[in-house]
Amino acid sequence: MTAQIIDGKMISAEVNRENAENVALLKSKNITPGLAVILVGDNPASQVYVRAKVKKCEELEITSFHHVLDKDATMDELLALIERLNKDENVHGILVQSPPPPQIDEQKVIESIVPEKDVDCFHAVNVGKMLLGRTDGFFPCTPYGVMILLEKSGIETAGKHVVVIGRSNIVGKPMTALMLQKNPHANATVTCVHSMTKNLPELVRQADIVVAAIGKPEFVTADMIKEGAVVIDVGINRVPDASSPKGYKLVGDVKYDEVAQKASKITPVPGGVGPMTIAVLMQNTIKSCMMQHNLL
Ligand code: GUN
């Protein structure tokens, strides 16, 4: 049997309809949400992601402030820009696209953003709030996007064994934390496996739900998957492809064709988790705007 596809484009469109309603509500009060997107350098994949974020802002009539800094930009330049955006009342969210070039101390940059505008949920204050189950911060875009995908697809997580593959600060760690929350749409038993895990395939095989976020093309193969498991693929990897005009194709962290023969439900790449990340980013920007105007 072939797995049912979890359509991230369709589900993100649903979230973005709610986002559009909230923007309209704010507009009726003469308030426009604003998001500052900062790209340092010319990483081609980052350029694509930043363009997608700016485009979604335009569609939702959220003001975008798009800043591109030279790949040799200094920490001082970047920190000065963030300081200005921190004070700008028209800016409710600030994000610096990751990964920045090596001269940039990413953690220091993140901590220079005021927590109230940290719509990525990368700041220690917001990560702490999230871990405590508080809702007065933000939810991390990709992990929360996965939670929404599961909920809106009618996939229960309570009491299920979820195996998160990867322990990054952006996805693996916050994903593990969200799945653990005492909440009817979480309440999972969670195992987080990574590069130092000894018996990784054996542990993944025990999962009812697998979340792959390791950044290794087609790492998860059918032999690691229990029959009927749900597979969420967070990876977006460029691999060489001579038959494509661009010279590359996008593949996930999951070997889709063979895993789809064993899973009950699976997300495609592209069109799975990717659009959800942006929908949550927009949701966080609107929430930030509402909180800054004491509307939440
Ligand atoms: N790079 C990959 N994912 C993300 C994200 O969600 N936010 C930012 N700022 N950079 C990223």
Mutate to test the pocket of ligand 1, among 48, 123, 170 (most ligand atoms within 8 A of CB): 170
pLDDT of residue 216: 98
Mean pLDDT of 241-259: 97
pLDDT of residue 186: 98
pLDDT of residue 3: 98
Element (H, E) at 39: strand 34-40
Catalytic residue among 56, 97, 117, 262: 97
**Paired tokens of 58:** 């335009």
Residue 139: pLDDT band with limits 50, 70, 90: very high
- The predicted model scores a pTM of 0.98
The CB of 288 under 6 Å from ligand 1? The reply is no
Bond into 184 cis (ω within 30): no
Active site includes 120? yes
Label residue 229 left, alpha or beta by phi (over 0 means left) and psi (-120 to 50 means alpha): beta
Q: What structural domains does the chain harbor?
A: 30-114 (3.40.50.10860), 141-273 (3.40.50.720)
Report whether 276 contacts 149 (CB < 8 A): yes
Report whether 8 contacts 141 (CB < 8 A): no
182-227 pLDDT, tens digit each: 999 999 999 999 999 999 999 999 999 999 999 999 999 999 999 9
The CB of 109 under 6 Å from ligand 1? The reply is no
Q: Is pLDDT of 127 > 80?
A: yes
pLDDT of residue 1: 77
Mean pLDDT of 177-184: 98
**Paired tokens of 174:** 């916050």
SS3 220: strand
- Compute the half-sphere exposure of residue 70: CA atoms within 13 Å on the CB side of its CA: 5
CB atoms under 10 Å from CB of 36, counted, come to 26
Distance of CA 56 to the CA centre of its chain: 15
pLDDT of residue 289: 98
Nearest-10 Cα torsion for 94, 96, 97, 103:
180
Nearest CA-CA partner of 271 in 12, 4, 20:
12
d(CA 239, CA 259): 19
**pLDDT above 70 coverage of the chain, percent:** 100
Query: Which residue, by CA, sits nearest to atom 8 of ligand 1?
Result: 97
d(CA 259, CA 244): 24
Give, as one character, the DSSP assignment of residue 254. Answer: B
- Atom index in ligand 1 nearest the CA of residue 98 equals 10
Q: Is pLDDT of 249 > 80?
A: yes
Element (H, E) at 4: strand 4-5
Mean pLDDT computed over every residue of the chain: 98
Query: Which residue, by CA, sits nearest to atom 2 of ligand 1?
Result: 98
Residue keyed to tokens 């569609």: 59
d(CA 224, CA 186): 23
pLDDT of residue 238: 96
Mean pLDDT of 119-129: 98
Active site includes 283? no
Report whether 59 contacts 13 (CB < 8 A): no
Catalytic residue among 56, 117, 118, 120: 120
Active site includes 206? no
- Atom index in ligand 1 nearest the CA of residue 96 equals 9
Residue 228: pLDDT band with limits 50, 70, 90: very high
